[in-house]
Amino acid sequence: MRVEKVTEKEIDSVLDEARSIFEIDKTVVEEDFRWAGKVAVGLRQLVGDFDINSLAYYHRGLDGEIHERLGAGMILGCSLLTGAGIPAVGEYELRTSIGMLMLDRMGAGGSFTEFQALNFNAGVVEMGHDGPAHLSISNGKPMLRGLGVYHGKRGFGISVEFDVKHGPVTVFGVTQRKNGTYQFVASEGKVVDGPRLRIGNTTSLVDFGVNPGEWCDSWSATGVPHHWALGTGHRVSELRAVAELLDIEMVVI
pLDDT tens track for 97-109: 999 999 999 999 9
- Please write the tens of the pLDDT for every residue from 170-199: 999 999 888 889 999 999 999 999 998 888
Work out the burial of residue 237: count CB atoms within 10 Å of its CB; fewer than 13 is exposed, 13-18 middle, 19 or more buried: exposed
Q: What was the pLDDT predicted at 108?
A: 96
Q: Do the beta carbons of residue 196 and residue 162 sit within 8 Å?
A: no
Is 0.85 surpassed by the pTM of this model? yes
Tell the burial category of 72 from Cβ atoms under 10 Å away from its Cβ (0-12, 13-18, 19+). buried
Tell me the three state secondary structure of residue 176: strand
Counting Cα atoms < 13 Å in the Cβ hemisphere of 135 gives 25
How far apart are alpha carbons 238 and 242 in whole angstroms? Answer: 6
> What's the half-sphere exposure (Cβ side, CA atoms, 13 Å) at 3?
16
CATH architecture type of domain 3-252: Alpha-Beta Barrel (3.20)
Q: pLDDT tens digits for 58-116? A: 877 677 788 888 887 889 999 999 999 999 998 889 999 999 999 999 999 999 999 99
